[in-house]
Amino acid sequence: MVIMDLTSIQDPSFLKRMSVTEMEALSADIRRFLIEKLAETGGHLAPNLGVVELTLALHRVFDSPNDQLVWDVGHQAYVHKILTGRTKQFDTLRQYNGLCGFPKRCESDHDVWETGHSSTSLSAAMGIAIANELKGSQDRAIAIIGDGALTGGMALEALNHIGAEKQNVIVILNDNEMSIAPNVGAMHNMLGRMRASRKLKHAREEIESLIKHIPIVGGPLERSGERVKDMLKSALIPGTFFEELGFTYFGPTDGHDLKDLLETLEYAKKIDGPVLVHVITKKGKGYRPAELDGVGTWHGLGPYKIESGEVIKGKVKGPSYSKVVAETITKVAETDDRVTLITPAMSVGSKLDCFNAKFPERMFDVGIAEQHAVTLAGGQATQGLKPVVSIYSTFFQRAYDQLVHDICRQNLNVVFTIDRSGLVGADGETHQGVFDIAFMRHVPNIRILMAKDEAELQRLVYSALRYDDGPIAIRFPRGEGIGVPMSDTLQELPLDVWEVEAEGTDVAILTFGPQVQDALEVRALLEGQVSVRVINCRTIKPLDDVMLTSLYEEGIPLVTLEEAVLAGGFGSSVLEHASDARQFPRVLRLGIPDRYIEHGGVNQLLEEIGLRPSQIAESVQQFVQVTNRQNV
Ligand SMILES: Cc1ncc(C[n+]2csc(CCOP(=O)(O)OP(=O)(O)O)c2C)c(N)n1
């Protein structure tokens, strides 16, 4: 039975008039819609299937947008988008100019906070709650955070603050035992114990009253009796941890039982001060392949076949860059037992299972804890280990001070393998890996590398693992290599020289990573008009001083090309080098302008900012014409 046409939903107020049975039917409709729609577009299926009833209940009990719903990470806000009038736009989910995969303030008044990175919701909700109070408003700030996101340091900092204050912040802890991969850590273990005590939930009042009535004889005995009572309470009643932090705790509540959820949220709404509602959900609920997924495949994925649960893969030319990196580290670790591997909850995306299978004792998944991951590596390095921190470019932003203060200042031998460097596409603004060169290259001691293809990447990773003179970062893009032959044996590459890929006399393009291929294409496009030299600048820092000096002497115009922000980027470093050398070459910098790049296909995004090979060719041609004119 179809309860309603989802595309007719304008706002969530209709939920207030629905019976629980009708809401259950609506949940089924929404699940069906998500399973069918995401089979075409791809997206974060499993997290959203897990929060269908929870989202309906939240919108029924609270009054969004007056009450403010803050979604942590924001990848699980699809049901919220449906209930706030955006169903029709799901055809364009995560596509260029289409519906964003995360909350977006310009899309709806109901999206009060934008996310993409994890563990920000509690701080944001607290900020909103403070504003509510100062404005004399009774509105509620509600943060919805997963058990994975709760492992992030920011969430713990916020819990510490919220619990000590009196603001009306309601924290909904969506506990499905999964981060992307199965969740990890002591908090996770503690939540497990709370889940196990679920049966006791209804007996909570009885236990409390029982404990209260344990007779106590006066004096010192009374005091020790109180301690015994406290111990008994924390042993028997779930949530004591949160209560000790200053929250009123509700739960654990079955996140797929609408009646239970509505009842619990109504209670929570009436409480003054910080409240935590512990909700147990099943990630992937209602679609068997996603429910059975113990790995993380269905967390976020491309199109799939609904019947078989088969993920549809496009044609690829080469192995994935992540895999090349993970396999090379694993190979080196076979002969070098100093090598360890650290991941802040991204083992699935960075394909680290091959290392984990062989060296579980040297692999550390620390949860969503980028700062800790980096300093942990530093500690290991001081004791002679050779830690590799496998980290996405965008999430590395979280650990800037740890890079500066802990790793580079002490010149520690830590290797950073920086996944998803460059534009990532569908995940959009929050995930583009475009800032890392700018935030790393001004830090003393670190070397920064990027390979033009998968074979060179293998050699760079091997070389970095053999380098013992301080920190070294290897950037690599999302996706697959270009299909060049790979060597069976690991070979080193010098870490401070650039290479001329193709000769030319009118202009030299200085670039690195996949843009080397683009530059070669530009060269081919301009053949007969402009003679283009292509230089592979695989060492982004330090620059190749010898090569640059000879380019200045030659007087050839230079084009720097990078899929990274121009401000403070590679091109800027070339200008700085020239200025320091009292040289004034003509330089054109091509890269990402000073604004955030939204979601869409990578090629569409490159087109938007003028970085497709044909556009680069045009820019290069104009630049050469201008420099020729000025030379006359
Ligand atoms: C700072 C940061 N690190 C890593 C990620 C990648 N990431 C996205 S969702 C996710 C897991 C979140 O787990 P949880 O909060 O439990 O939500 P669930 O998907 O299980 O509902 C991770 C690690 C991120 N978004 N932000």
pLDDT per position as a tens digit, 433-452:
999 999 999 999 999 999 99
Handedness of CA 170, 176, 178, 182 (dihedral sign): positive
* 105: three-class secondary structure by DSSP: coil
- For residue 364, give the CATH number of its domain: 3.40.50.970
Task: Tell whether 411 and 273 lie within a shared domain.
Answer: no
* 573: three-class secondary structure by DSSP: helix
Task: Quote the ligand 1 centre to 117 CA distance (angstroms).
Answer: 7
C-alpha dihedral, 386 to 387 to 388 to 393, nearest 10°: -130
Residue 120 in domain: yes
Query: 345 phi and psi, to 5 degrees?
Result: 70, 20
Task: Tell whether 120 and 266 lie within a shared domain.
Answer: yes
- Ligand 1 first shell, C-beta below 6 A: 47, 50, 73, 75-76, 117-118, 146-149, 174, 176, 178-180, 283, 299, 345, 368, 370, 395, 398
- Other Cβ atoms closer than 10 A to 524: 12
Among the listed residues 572, 501, 554, the one whose alpha carbon sits nearest the alpha carbon of residue 532: 501
Task: Tell whether 276 and 189 lie within a shared domain.
Answer: yes
CB burial of residue 29 (10 Å; 0-12, 13-18, 19+) = middle
For residues 446-482, b (16+ Cβ closer than 10 Å) or e, as one string?
Answer: bbbbbbbbbbbbbbbbbbbbebeebbbbbbbbbbbbe
- Provide the pLDDT for residue 197: 75
- Provide the pLDDT for residue 217: 52
H helices of 163-309, in order, are: 186-196, 204-212, 220-236, 240-244, 258-270, 288-292
Task: Tell whether 548 and 602 lie within a shared domain.
Answer: yes
Task: Quote the ligand 1 centre to 180 CA distance (angstroms).
Answer: 6
Low-confidence ranges of the chain (pLDDT < 70): 1-3, 198-238
Residue 491 in domain: no
Q: Determine the residue of 179, 418, 431 to mutate for testing ligand 1's pocket, defined as the one with the most ligand atoms within 8 A of the Cβ atom.
A: 179
Strand pairing of 532-536 and 558-565? unpaired
**Annotated active-site residue in 283, 452, 475, 541:** 283
Task: Tell whether 132 and 159 lie within a shared domain.
Answer: yes
**What's the rounded Cα separation, in Å, for the pair 184 and 545?**
46
Task: Tell whether 418 and 331 lie within a shared domain.
Answer: yes
Give tens-digit pLDDT for 484-502: 999 999 999 999 999 999 9
**What's the rounded Cα separation, in Å, for the pair 272 and 439?**
43
Task: Tell whether 277 and 337 lie within a shared domain.
Answer: no
Residue 314 in domain: no
- Provide the pLDDT for residue 223: 56
Atom of ligand 1 nearest to the CA of 148: 16
Task: Quote the ligand 1 centre to 73 CA distance (angstroms).
Answer: 6
Residue 312 in domain: no
Note the Cα 478 to chain centre separation in Å. Answer: 13
Residue 406 in domain: yes
For residues 81-98, b (16+ Cβ closer than 10 Å) or e, as one string?
Answer: bbbbbbbebbeebbbbeb
553 is written with which tokens? 């002497």
Total domains present in the chain: 4
CB burial of residue 361 (10 Å; 0-12, 13-18, 19+) = exposed
Residue 451 in domain: yes
Q: Whose CA is nearest to atom 17 of ligand 1?
A: 146
Q: Determine the residue of 53, 145, 180 to mutate for testing ligand 1's pocket, defined as the one with the most ligand atoms within 8 A of the Cβ atom.
A: 180
Task: Tell whether 48 and 130 lie within a shared domain.
Answer: yes
224 is written with which tokens? 């020790």
CA dist list (Å): 286 to 52, 81, 601: 10, 19, 30
Query: 560 phi and psi, to 5 degrees?
Result: -100, 140
Task: Tell whether 549 and 469 lie within a shared domain.
Answer: no
* 441: three-class secondary structure by DSSP: coil
Task: Quote the ligand 1 centre to 381 CA distance (angstroms).
Answer: 27
Residue 74 identity: G
Told to judge if 370 belongs to the known catalytic residues of this protein, a careful annotator would answer yes
Task: Tell whether 82 and 124 lie within a shared domain.
Answer: yes
Tell which of 475, 508, 534 closes a domain.
Answer: 475
**Annotated active-site residue in 81, 86, 323, 398:** 398
- Provide the pLDDT for residue 314: 87
**What's the rounded Cα separation, in Å, for the pair 562 and 585?**
19
Among the listed residues 572, 534, 296, the one whose alpha carbon sits nearest the alpha carbon of residue 437: 572
Q: Determine the residue of 118, 342, 478 to mutate for testing ligand 1's pocket, defined as the one with the most ligand atoms within 8 A of the Cβ atom.
A: 118
**Annotated active-site residue in 370, 454, 480, 563:** 370
Identify any residues that bridge with 276 across adjacent strands, giving them in sequence order.
Answer: 171, 249
Atom of ligand 1 nearest to the CA of 119: 1
Give tens-digit pLDDT for 28-49: 999 999 999 999 999 999 999 9
Told to judge if 447 belongs to the known catalytic residues of this protein, a careful annotator would answer no
Residue 492 in domain: no
- For residue 602, give the CATH number of its domain: 3.40.50.920
Q: Please give the residue range of the domain that contains residue 211.
A: 203-237
* 488: three-class secondary structure by DSSP: coil
**What's the rounded Cα separation, in Å, for the pair 179 and 147?**
7
- Provide the pLDDT for residue 207: 58
Task: Tell whether 42 and 76 lie within a shared domain.
Answer: yes
Task: Quote the ligand 1 centre to 395 CA distance (angstroms).
Answer: 11
Residue 493 in domain: no
Angle (deg, nearest 10), helices 52-61 and 20-41: 130
Task: Quote the ligand 1 centre to 496 CA distance (angstroms).
Answer: 36
265 is written with which tokens? 């949220």
Task: Quote the ligand 1 centre to 148 CA distance (angstroms).
Answer: 6
**What's the rounded Cα separation, in Å, for the pair 273 and 167?**
5
**Residue carrying the six token digits 């992030």:** 152
Tell which of 441, 475, 509 closes a domain.
Answer: 475
Task: Tell whether 554 and 454 lie within a shared domain.
Answer: no
* 316: three-class secondary structure by DSSP: coil
Identify any residues that bridge with 559 across adjacent strands, giving them in sequence order.
Answer: 509, 588
- Provide the pLDDT for residue 630: 85
Strand (E) positions, 451-585?
Answer: 472-475, 499-502, 507-511, 532-536, 539-541, 558-565
Q: Determine the residue of 178, 184, 368 to mutate for testing ligand 1's pocket, defined as the one with the most ligand atoms within 8 A of the Cβ atom.
A: 368
**What's the rounded Cα separation, in Å, for the pair 89 and 402?**
41
Atom of ligand 1 nearest to the CA of 299: 19
